[in-house]
Structures are given as structure tokens and as C-alpha cells.
């Protein structure tokens, strides 16, 4: 703390008063004491996220706990935070391993639910948003937001293209055990097959329940689903 | 206040000699040049309606309101903003917006535009943190958005040149890049998830790619009339919306994270002309 030696000469009470006023005025306790130019970039980023009062870290979040937890990275998030997104072969292997370790098959094995319910979940982008507006999970169930990135029902005109088209996904695959298992693995934790994909870990991170995943699987694989018409 | 203006003088003289990067251009012309140079960019060409509306951009009215506010004597100190130093000297607005964020000697840190504007409204005009004039950050009816639109417009057609000479400016641009790629939140997103590839869509919206500077200059050209919101929006508003959609913790205005992201954003558009104000979907 470079400023401290200067203050030592002042009577203690005055010194304390000055310090308190400074904090209130700037609203950021560590400003002026942190030399951001002297920090390594990685260290500075963590300082910015957790120590600079930049985020509302104390805000409660839907999954329980506070928003601080949202900003604390797990191993997979850290491994996938490479600037430019180009991963080495070792990094790819690390991510696949992490993803496989955290994957859990549903009790009794994956199965198909109700495709109509799956269609609703695929269209809904609700859930887990916090800040100026908070998603209220007690009044509305979070969705899977599949259409944000994928084409699914070929008759639905508005779909994103960050992910591959899933129109007709079930037509060539059938509903045997292997195709059910693969669909579940990808929805639950897609990094097993697509390391550092943009797609969320819907099962592994409990964004959707196993029941809800079964509905989305039905929307994809059920021969009756509009996705396969 | 007078003393503050005097203190700012040496800084103004120090940077005053630097040439402005480009002349002022009508925002509709800036956009047209970009469209002609990038006939295949799905992002730039996505809304014919908005392109057609550029000469009648409702944001131009908001800029007019901002001009009036800028010169008006307001606040407890009954002062105008003419002595506010946005980095090129007190009251110098030409080209100031596209050179932000920058390090300010008087506060000893890097500030982005909105943070600097709020700083001036507090220090020069005497507004308190809780006064609507500085607390209300969003909407075409807010003082902040009106002033932002007017001041930013004075940089239309000039190249983005966020300052990167001071070590703290360099540190925040580098940190902003890492933040852009930092995965987090309930759904593992980072900014690059949506802005890493060209021509991709979220639902119906074509997304700008950060590494394509000619797309990116339009992407960061806020303030812009956001047609779907029927309001002029700022860079801060775009960041807040993205962070909310990413399911990260809510980001605060005037914060180091916000400034670092804007420093990196504007750096990624460096050398490209700004469209100020723009019109977006």
C-alpha cells in the first residue's frame, strides 16, 4: 500500500477518517491501491471479476447460492476459456475426459418422453437470467432454448444457426438403445463429443431435469414428432 | 471548477497535437460505404428497412435534445458541460468519443465514455449519485442517453482509436480480451460463443463477428436506435443485455469490468469508421 507511509505521520483519528471518506466517495475500496498495470493479465481478470465491485456477486440465483458461484469457473469452463478458441490436442483430450467423468446416465437408461412437451421446451429461452430482470422459476419452467441455435421442425421459420440443423434428426437414426444413449449424452454434456462447444451442459449442470431431457429427446427422435416429418 | 479546467489544460495540450483519425461523416454515408465494401456480410445487410431508415434515424432527434442539454446551465452548480474534458481538452467533442476509454490524470484511472460523462455531471454540475439526471442510464428520454447521442455523434465517420499508450489502458484492453473469452455462468457462455463466427444467427438475428472489424465497427457503434426497443441504446445497455443472456452475474455500469470490455470492443474495431448514431434491429 504505497499511500500508507504518508498517512503514518497524521494523528490516527484523522487518518482513519480520511480513509473512510475515500472509500465512500469512490465506492470501490481497493481503487488507488491496486496497480493494475503491474498485474499479469490472468491475475487482473480474476481481480476484475471478484475484487473490483464490477458484478452483483451477492445477488441470489435460481439454482441456489449467489451469483458469485456463476462467475467461479469449474475445470471445464477454465479449459474452454482460451483466447481465440484454438485448443491443442492435449486440451481437447482434457475437456473430453472432464466431460466423460461428469456424465451420468439416467436411472434405468435414457428413454423417450412426450414430444409435444419437448417442442415447448425447445422453443423456450426462459430461465436462469439474473440482473435487471430475474427469471422466476416458480412461475415458469426454464426451457432448453434449442431454437436459438438449431433448426428442428422444418416448418418453423425462425431458428438459429450456431449449431447444426436438426431437421429430420430422427429419420435416419431410429429409436434403438444406441441412438437414445447418444442423444442423451450430447444433451446432458455435449463436450464428450464436441469439446468446448457453445452448447450448455443441460443434464450435467441440472439446467433441465431428466424428465425434461426425455421430452426433448422425443421431439428429436420420435417418428411422430414434427422434426421428423 | 475553474481550477479543474486549468489542471486539465496541460493534458489537452499534450494530446491536442495528435491528428484526428478521419473527418466527420454523416452516419448514413458511413454505413453505405461499409455495405458497399462488404456485399457478402449477412450481418451488415440483415435489415433493409433499417438501412433505408438511416437518414430519418429517430436517434437524430435524441442527439438534438442532447445538444440542448449539453449547453444548458444545470444542476446544483448551475453549470453547463462545456468544461467537461472527454480526453481532448475541456469542451472538445470532435473525435473524443472514438478515443475512449482512456486514462484520465485527474482521476488516476481509465474511464469509458458513460463513466466520464457521469463524472463530469457530478463534479461540474453537482448532481448527486441518486439524482435522476445521472441515475437514469437508459431510454431515449434519459439525460444520459440524450447527451451520449449528441456527444458520440461528433465522432461519426472517425476511426475507433481507444487510447493504448498508458500502461493501464493496455492492461484493460488485454483484460477485456480475456473477459470476452472467459466462460462462466449457468450455461458456460462467453462473449465469443455468439461473436466467434461470421454469418451465424441466434433465432432471426445475424450476429457480428468480433474478429471481422468491418462487422464489428457496426456492432460497437452505439448509441443506436434499437428498432425493436423503440429507444436509443448505449454500449453499456448492449453489454448489460449480453451478460444477462449469458446467465453471468449482473455487471455494473462505471465498473472496471465494463470499462475493460468496452476498451477491448473498441480496440477490435480500431481503424474502422464509427456509425454514430446507428440504427439496429
d(CA A159, CA B159): 35
User: Where are the domains positioned within chain A?
Assistant: 4-79, 89-228
Task: Give the pLDDT of residue B195.
Answer: 97
- Name the 3-class secondary structure at B262: helix
What are the grid coordinates assigned to A179, written together?
A: 441412438
Beta bridge partners of B28: none
Reported pTM? 0.90
How high does pLDDT run on average in chain A? 89
Average pLDDT over residues B181-209: 97
Contact residues, chain B, for A77 at CB < 8 Å: 183-184, 188
Tell me which residue has cell 414428432: A225
Alpha helices in chain B (DSSP H): 2-16, 27-37, 48-53, 59-71, 113-123, 132-135, 143-153, 167-181, 192-195, 213-219, 235-245, 256-268
What's the confidence (pLDDT) of residue A31?
Answer: 53
CB contact under 8 A, B250 and A32: no
Cβ atoms < 10 Å from Cβ of B44: 22
Query: Chain A neighbours among B 194-253 (CB < 8 Å)?
Result: 194, 196-197, 199-204, 207, 240, 243-245, 247-252
Instruction: Tell me the torsion sign for CA atoms B215, B218, B221, B227.
Output: negative
Distance of CA A52 to the CA centre of its chain: 22
pLDDT digits (tens, 9 = 90+) for A35-75: 999 999 999 999 999 999 999 999 999 999 999 999 999 99
A95 to chain B, closest Cα gap in Å: 13
pLDDT digits (tens, 9 = 90+) for B24-80: 999 999 999 999 999 999 999 999 999 999 999 999 999 999 999 999 999 999 999
Q: Which residues of B are catalytic?
A: 242
Q: Which of B160, B138, B145 is nearest to B63 (CA)?
A: B145
CB contact under 8 A, A55 and B251: yes
Please tell me the distance from the alpha carbon of residue A84 to that of residue A94, in angstroms, as a whole number: 18
φ/ψ region of B75 (left if φ > 0, alpha if ψ in -120 to 50, else beta) reads left
ipTM over 0.85: yes
- Residue B131 backbone class (left: φ over 0; alpha: ψ -120 to 50; beta: rest): beta
CATH superfamily ID and name for A89-228: Cytochrome c-like domain (1.10.760.10)
pLDDT tens digits, A66-75: 999 999 999 9
Residue A160 near chain B (CB below 8 Å): yes
Q: The C-alpha cell of A138 is what? A: 416458480
Residue A12's pLDDT is 40
Q: What residues 53-92 of chain A have any CB closer than 8 A to a CB of chain B?
A: 53-57, 59, 61-63, 67-68, 70-73, 76-78, 80-85
Q: Kind of pairing, strands B278-280 and B224-226?
A: parallel
The crossing angle, in degrees rounded to 10, of helices B235-245 and B113-123 is 120
Other CB atoms closer than 10 Å to residue A163's CB: what's the count? 18
Inter-chain CB proximity A148 and B203 less than 8 Å: yes
End-to-end CA distance of chain A: 68
Q: What number of CA atoms fall less than 13 Å from residue B226's CA on the CB side?
A: 20
pLDDT at residue number B41: 97
B245/A147 CB distance under 8 A: no
- List helix spans (H) across A1-142: 4-7, 12-26, 41-51, 68-71, 75-79, 89-102, 115-123
Residue ranges covered by each domain of chain B: 25-280
Residue A15, φ and ψ in degrees, nearest 5: -60, -45
In this prediction, residues B196-200 reach a mean pLDDT of: 94
* Residue carrying the nine cell digits 427422435: A221
Q: Which residue has the cell 480496440?
A: B267
Say if CB A14 and CB A1 are below 8 A apart.
no
Alpha-carbon span B193 to B228, nearest angstrom:
23
Poorest-pLDDT segment among B3-17, B215-229, B247-261: B3-17
Mean pLDDT (chain B) is 94
| CATH architecture, range B25-280 | Orthogonal Bundle (1.10)
* Contact call for residues A167 and A181 (beta carbons, < 8 A): no
Task: Indicate if the alpha-carbon torsion angle A107, A111, A114, A117 is positive or negative.
Answer: positive
Report residue A160's pLDDT band, with 50, 70 and 90 as the boundaries. very high
CA nearest A24 in B: which residue?
A: B129
CA B263 to chain A, closest CA, distance in angstroms equals: 14
Amino acid at each position: 500500500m504505497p499511500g500508507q507511509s504518508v498517512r503514518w505521520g497524521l494523528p490516527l483519528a484523522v487518518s482513519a477518517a480520511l480513509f473512510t471518506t475515500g472509500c465512500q466517495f469512490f465506492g470501490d475500496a481497493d481503487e488507488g491501491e491496486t496497480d493494475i498495470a503491474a498485474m499479469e493479465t490472468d491475475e487482473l481478470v480474476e481481480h476484475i471479476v471478484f475484487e473490483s465491485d464490477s458484478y452483483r456477486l451477492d445477488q441470489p440465483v435460481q439454482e441456489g447460492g449467489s451469483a458469485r458461484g456463476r462467475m467461479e469457473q469449474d475445470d471445464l469452463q477454465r479449459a474452454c476459456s482460451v483466447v481465440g478458441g484454438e485448443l491443442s490436442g492435449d486440451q481437447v483430450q482434457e475437456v473430453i475426459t472432464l466431460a466423460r467423468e461428469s456424465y451420468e446416465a439416467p436411472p434405468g437408461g435414457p428413454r423417450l418422453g412426450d414430444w409435444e412437451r419437448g417442442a415447448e421446451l425447445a422453443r423456450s429461452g426462459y430461465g436462469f437470467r439474473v440482473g435487471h430482470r430475474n427469471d422466476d422459476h416458480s412461475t415458469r419452467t426454464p426451457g432448453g432454448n434449442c431454437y436459438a441455435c438449431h433448426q428442428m421442425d422444418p416448418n418453423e421459420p425462425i431458428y438459429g444457426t450456431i449449431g447444426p440443423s436438426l431437421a429430420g434428426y430422427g429419420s435416419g437414426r431410429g429409436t434403438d438403445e444406441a441412438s437414445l444413449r447418444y442423444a442423451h449424452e450430447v444433451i446432458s454434456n455435449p463436450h464428450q463429443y464436441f469439446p468446448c462447444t457453445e452448447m450448455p451442459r443441460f443434464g450435467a449442470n441440472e439446467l433441465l431435469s431428466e424428465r425434461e431431457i426425455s421430452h426433448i429427446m422425443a421431439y428429436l427422435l420420435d417418428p411422430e414428432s414434427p422434426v421428423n416429418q | 471548477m475553474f481550477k479543474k479546467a486549468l489542471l486539465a489544460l496541460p493534458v489537452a495540450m499534450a494530446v491536442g497535437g495528435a491528428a484526428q483519425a478521419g473527418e466527420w461523416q454523416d452516419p448514413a454515408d458511413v454505413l453505405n460505404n461499409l455495405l458497399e465494401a462488404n456485399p457478402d456480410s449477412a450481418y451488415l445487410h440483415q435489415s433493409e428497412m433499417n438501412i433505408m431508415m438511416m437518414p430519418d434515424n429517430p436517434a437524430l432527434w435524441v442527439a438534438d435534445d442532447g445538444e440542448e442539454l449539453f449547453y444548458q446551465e444545470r444542476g446544483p452548480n448551475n453549470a453547463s458541460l462545456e468544461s467537461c474534458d472527454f480526453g481532448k481538452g475541456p469542451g472538445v467533442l470532435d473525435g473524443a468519443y472514438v478515443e475512449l476509454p482512456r486514462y484520465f490524470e485527474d482521476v488516476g484511472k481509465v474511464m469509458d465514455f458513460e463513466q466520464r460523462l457521469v463524472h463530469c455531471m457530478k463534479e461540474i454540475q453537482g448532481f448527486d449519485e441518486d439524482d435522476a439526471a445521472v441515475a437514469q442510464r437508459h431510454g431515449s428520454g434519459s439525460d444520459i442517453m440524450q447527451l451520449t447521442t449528441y456527444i458520440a455523434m461528433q465522432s461519426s465517420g472517425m476511426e475507433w482509436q481507444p487510447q493504448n499508450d498508458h500502461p493501464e489502458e493496455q492492461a484493460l484492453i488485454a483484460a477485456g480480451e480475456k473477459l470476452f473469452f472467459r466462460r462462466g455462468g449457468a450455461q458456460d457462455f462467453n462473449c465469443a460463443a455468439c461473436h466467434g463466427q461470421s454469418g451465424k444467427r441466434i433465432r432471426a438475428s445475424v450476429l457480428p463477428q468480433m474478429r471481422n472489424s468491418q462487422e464489428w465497427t457496426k456492432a460497437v457503434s452505439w448509441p443506436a436506435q434499437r428498432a425493436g426497443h423503440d429507444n436509443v441504446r448505449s454500449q453499456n445497455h448492449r453489454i448489460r443485455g449480453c451478460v444477462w443472456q449469458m446467465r453471468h452475474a449482473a455487471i455494473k455500469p462505471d465498473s472496471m469490468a465494463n470499462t475493460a470490455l468496452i476498451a477491448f470492443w473498441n480496440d477490435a474495431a480500431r481503424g474502422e469508421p464509427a456509425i454514430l448514431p446507428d440504427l439496429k434491429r
